[in-house]
């Protein structure tokens, strides 16, 4: 193998190494971005859960009021008006 061939091979190997390092750096950035997105989503979870709790609380209030109204109507129907 001539010196030119060795130099070409060395440059090719370094090119492969540089490309591999660039790919690793890109993968690392993608992982960090994904991690950041996951943490943001987890951070917004309590707010989402609070909103769901409020919605469920409102739903129970509506159900309770509807049951109370229905109960009052049934009692009025059996007793007659006051």
- Residue range 25-58, pLDDT digits in tens: 888 888 888 888 887 777 777 777 777 777 877 8
pLDDT at position 14 is 79
CA torsion 31→33→38→42, rounded to 10°?
140
The encoded tokens of residue 17 equal: 């190494």
Separate counts of helices (H) and strands (E) for the chain: 1, 0
Model-level pTM? Answer: 0.40
The encoded tokens of residue 40 equal: 């943001």
pLDDT at position 62 is 83
The encoded tokens of residue 68 equal: 């109370």
Give the contacts of 9 (CB within 8 A, at least 6 positions apart): 1
């Amino acid at each position: 193998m001539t010196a030119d061939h060795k130099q070409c091979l060395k440059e090719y190997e370094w090119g492969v190494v540089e490309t591999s390092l660039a790919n690793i750096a890109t993968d690392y950035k993608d992982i960090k971005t994904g991690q950041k997105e996951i943490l943001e989503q987890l951070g917004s979870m309590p707010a989402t859960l609070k909103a769901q709790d409020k919605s469920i609380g409102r739903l129970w209030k509506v159900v309770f009021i509807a049951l109370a109204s229905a109960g009052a109507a049934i009692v009025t129907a059996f007793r007659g008006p006051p």
